[in-house]
Amino acid sequence: MDAQRTLEFNARNIAEFRANGGKLGGRFEGAPVLLLTTTGAKSGQPRTSPMMYLPEGERIIVFASNEGKDNHPSWYHNLRANPSATVELGTDTFAVTATEITGAEHDRLYGIQAQRYPGFATYRERTERIIPVVELIRDDA
């Protein structure tokens, strides 16, 4: 998907998410989806991205898969520059701090996501980069 189509796709999903209490239809129907608002690494402006996540107990895990492209998604670069962000989950909005997960825990969490949603296995096969796994830790937790 080119950049303009991605922006339009994301804008539609963000509007649908907010209008429907955090639920999406189409290919995301029934999937765990959140909105992540980061601060642009270059612009300093807020940037919101819809994405699937892995709930694991109280943990919120996201994957910088970028659909298997050879570059990391913008939101990941933004979190590297400024790990403070905001999550919209259902109708709840809260501040988080991002922490990258590596090693065996990275592999375990990515494996769970790929098993539940085979598209993530496909993304891993499409690229030679290691797809980052990030935990979003609630600031009020």
pLDDT digit string (tens) for 74-120? 999 999 999 999 999 999 999 999 999 999 999 999 999 999 999 99
Residue 5 has pLDDT above 90, yes or no: no
Q: Exposure of 25 by Cβ count < 10 A (0-12 exposed, 13-18 middle, 19+ buried)?
A: exposed
- Cα–Cα distance for residue pair 116/61, rounded to 1 Å: 14
Residue 134 has pLDDT above 90, yes or no: yes
Residue keyed to tokens 């999406």: 24
What is the pLDDT, as a whole number, of residue 98? 98
Mean pLDDT along residues 39-49: 95
Rg of the chain over Cα atoms, rounded to whole angstroms, equals 14
**Domain extent for 67:** 3-138
Residue 140 has pLDDT above 80, yes or no: yes
Q: In the chain, how many domains are there? A: 1
Mean per-residue pLDDT over the chain, rounded: 94
Residue 124: which CATH number? 2.30.110.10
Mean pLDDT along residues 58-75: 95
**Among the ranges given (1-10, 36-45, 68-77, 101-110), the one the predictor scored with the smallest mean pLDDT:** 1-10
- Cα–Cα distance for residue pair 126/104, rounded to 1 Å: 21
What is the pLDDT, as a whole number, of residue 28? 87
- Cα–Cα distance for residue pair 54/113, rounded to 1 Å: 7
Per the CB < 8 A criterion, the answer to whether 64 and 77 are in contact is no
Torsional class of 23: left (φ above 0), alpha (ψ -120 to 50), beta (otherwise)? beta
Say what the pTM is: 0.93
For the range 123-129, what are the long-range contacts, defined as Cβ-Cβ under 8 Å and sequence gap of 24 or more? 123/65, 123/66, 123/67, 123/68, 124/65, 124/68, 125/68, 126/67, 126/68, 126/69, 127/68, 127/69, 127/70, 128/70, 129/70, 129/71, 129/72
